Amino acid sequence: MLVEMTILIKNASYIISFNDRDEILENADLLIEGNKITAVGRNLSLNPMDNPQIIDAQGMAVLPGLVNTHHHLYQTLFRGLPEVQGMPLFYWLVNLYEFWRHIIPDAVYYGAMVGFSELLRTGCTLTTDHHYVFPRGKASSFIDTQINAAQEIGIRFHATRGSMSLGKSEGGLPPDEVVQDAETILKDSQRLIERYHDPADYSMTRLALAPCSPFSVSLDLMRESQLLARDKGVMLHTHLAETLDEEKFCLERYGRRPVELMEDVGWIGPDVWFAHAIHLSEREINLLAQSGSGVAHCPSSNMKLGSGICPTSDLVRAGAKLGIAVDGSASNDGSNMWEEVRRAYLLNHLRYKDEGLSAYETLKCATRGGADVLGRPDTGRLEAGKAADIILLDLKDVAYAGSHDPLVSIVCCGNHSFVDTTIVNGKVVVRKGQLLTQDTEEIRKKAHQVACEIVQKERSLKSF
In this predicted structure, what is the pLDDT of residue 136?
Answer: 87
In this predicted structure, what is the pLDDT of residue 272?
Answer: 98
Distance separating alpha carbons of residues 176 and 211, to the nearest angstrom: 16
Please state the rounded mean pLDDT for residues 423-431. 98
Q: Quote the mean pLDDT of the chain.
A: 95
Question: Is the confidence at residue 106, as pLDDT, over 50?
Answer: yes
Residue 310's pLDDT band, with cuts at 50, 70 and 90, is: very high
Closest to 458 (Cα-Cα) out of 66, 98, 214, 162: 98
Closest to 216 (Cα-Cα) out of 170, 165, 146: 165
Question: Is the confidence at residue 52, as pLDDT, over 90?
Answer: no
Question: Does 458 fall in a domain?
Answer: no
- The one-character DSSP state at 145 is H
Closest to 373 (Cα-Cα) out of 334, 330, 426, 320: 320
Question: Is the confidence at residue 3, as pLDDT, over 60?
Answer: no
In this predicted structure, what is the pLDDT of residue 4?
Answer: 59
Distance separating alpha carbons of residues 64 and 294, to the nearest angstrom: 20
Task: State the burial class of residue 147 (Cβ atoms within 10 Å of its Cβ: 0-12, 13-18, 19+).
Answer: buried
| CATH number assigned to the domain comprising residue 271 | 3.20.20.140
Question: Does 22 fall in a domain?
Answer: yes
Closest to 197 (Cα-Cα) out of 157, 224, 153: 157
Q: SS3 of 154, please?
A: coil
Kindly report which listed range (136-140, 266-270, 338-342) carries the lowest average pLDDT score: 136-140
Task: State the burial class of residue 213 (Cβ atoms within 10 Å of its Cβ: 0-12, 13-18, 19+).
Answer: buried
Question: Is the confidence at residue 48, as pLDDT, over 80?
Answer: no
Last residue of a domain, one of 340, 373, 406: 373
Distance separating alpha carbons of residues 27 and 12, to the nearest angstrom: 5
Summarised one tens digit per residue, pLDDT across range 402-412 is: 999 999 999 99
Question: Is the confidence at residue 416, as pLDDT, over 90?
Answer: no
Are residues 103 and 199 both part of a single domain?
A: yes
Question: Does 220 fall in a domain?
Answer: yes
In this predicted structure, what is the pLDDT of residue 31?
Answer: 96
Are residues 25 and 109 both part of a single domain?
A: no
Question: Is the confidence at residue 307, as pLDDT, over 90?
Answer: yes
User: At CA 286, angle to CA 281 and CA 289, rounded to 5?
Assistant: 130
In this predicted structure, what is the pLDDT of residue 374?
Answer: 98
In this predicted structure, what is the pLDDT of residue 432?
Answer: 96
User: Strand 66-68 relative to strand 235-240: parallel, antiparallel, unpaired?
Assistant: unpaired
Are residues 300 and 355 both part of a single domain?
A: yes
Are residues 58 and 107 both part of a single domain?
A: no
Are residues 212 and 347 both part of a single domain?
A: yes
Question: Does 33 fall in a domain?
Answer: yes
Distance separating alpha carbons of residues 337 and 119, to the nearest angstrom: 6
Query: Which helix (DSSP H) or strand (DSSP E) does residue 393 occupy?
Result: strand 390-394
Distance separating alpha carbons of residues 132 and 222, to the nearest angstrom: 14
Most confident segment among 76-85, 155-164, 328-337: 155-164
Are residues 54 and 75 both part of a single domain?
A: no
- The one-character DSSP state at 52 is P
Q: SS3 of 27, please?
A: strand
Which residue range(s) make up the domain with 95?
66-373
Sign of CA dihedral 249, 251, 256, 259: positive
Question: Does 450 fall in a domain?
Answer: no
Question: Does 133 fall in a domain?
Answer: yes
Polymer length of the chain? 464
Summarised one tens digit per residue, pLDDT across range 199-208 is: 999 999 999 9
List phi, psi (to 5°) of 21: -100, 5
The string of DSSP codes covering 100-118 is HTT--HHHHHHHHHHHHHH
Please state the rounded mean pLDDT for residues 212-229. 95
Residue 129, Ramachandran bin (φ over 0: left; ψ between -120 and 50: alpha; else beta): beta
Q: Omega into 394 within 30° of 0, i.e. cis? A: no
* Rg, C-alpha atoms of the chain: 21
Are residues 78 and 193 both part of a single domain?
A: yes
Are residues 211 and 294 both part of a single domain?
A: yes
Closest to 53 (Cα-Cα) out of 358, 427, 437: 427
Max Cα–Cα distance, the chain, nearest Å: 72
Kindly report which listed range (85-94, 107-116, 345-354) carries the lowest average pLDDT score: 85-94
Summarised one tens digit per residue, pLDDT across range 238-283 is: 999 999 999 999 999 999 999 999 999 999 999 999 999 999 999 9
Q: Does residue 296 contact residue 276 with C-beta atoms inside 8 Å? A: yes
In this predicted structure, what is the pLDDT of residue 315?
Answer: 98
Residue 1's pLDDT band, with cuts at 50, 70 and 90, is: very low
Kindly report which listed range (361-365, 384-388, 401-405, 440-444) carries the lowest average pLDDT score: 401-405
Closest to 221 (Cα-Cα) out of 263, 180, 272: 180
Are residues 390 and 303 both part of a single domain?
A: no
Question: Does 315 fall in a domain?
Answer: yes
In this predicted structure, what is the pLDDT of residue 114?
Answer: 98
Are residues 162 and 205 both part of a single domain?
A: yes
User: What's the one-letter identity of residue 400?
Assistant: Y
In this predicted structure, what is the pLDDT of residue 464?
Answer: 59
Are residues 49 and 113 both part of a single domain?
A: no
In this predicted structure, what is the pLDDT of residue 139?
Answer: 67
User: What's the one-letter identity of residue 202?
Assistant: Y
Question: Does 449 fall in a domain?
Answer: no
Are residues 79 and 195 both part of a single domain?
A: yes
Query: Which helix (DSSP H) or strand (DSSP E) does residue 460 occupy?
Result: helix 440-463
Q: Which residues pair with 68 in a beta bridge?
A: 127, 324
204 contacts: CB under 8 Å, gap ≥ 6 = 150, 151, 156, 157, 198, 425
- The one-character DSSP state at 379 is S
| CATH number assigned to the domain comprising residue 60 | 2.30.40.10
The string of DSSP codes covering 211-271 is E--TTTS-HHHHHHHHHHHHHHT-EEEEEES--HHHHHHHHHHHSS-HHHHHHHTT--STT
Distance separating alpha carbons of residues 322 and 297, to the nearest angstrom: 7
Kindly report which listed range (9-13, 300-304, 329-333, 401-405) carries the lowest average pLDDT score: 329-333
State the total domains in the chain.
2
Q: Which residues pair with 61 in a beta bridge?
A: 14, 393
Distance separating alpha carbons of residues 456 and 462, to the nearest angstrom: 10
Q: SS3 of 427, please?
A: strand
Question: Is the confidence at residue 5, as pLDDT, over 90?
Answer: no
* End-to-end C-alpha distance for the chain, whole angstroms: 49
Please state the rounded mean pLDDT for residues 276-300. 98
> How many other C-beta atoms are found inside a 10 Å radius of the C-beta of residue 170?
10
Question: Is the confidence at residue 459, as pLDDT, over 60?
Answer: yes
Please state the rounded mean pLDDT for residues 132-143. 87
In this predicted structure, what is the pLDDT of residue 332?
Answer: 87
Residue 2's pLDDT band, with cuts at 50, 70 and 90, is: very low
Summarised one tens digit per residue, pLDDT across range 158-206 is: 999 999 999 999 888 888 999 999 999 999 999 999 999 999 999 999 9
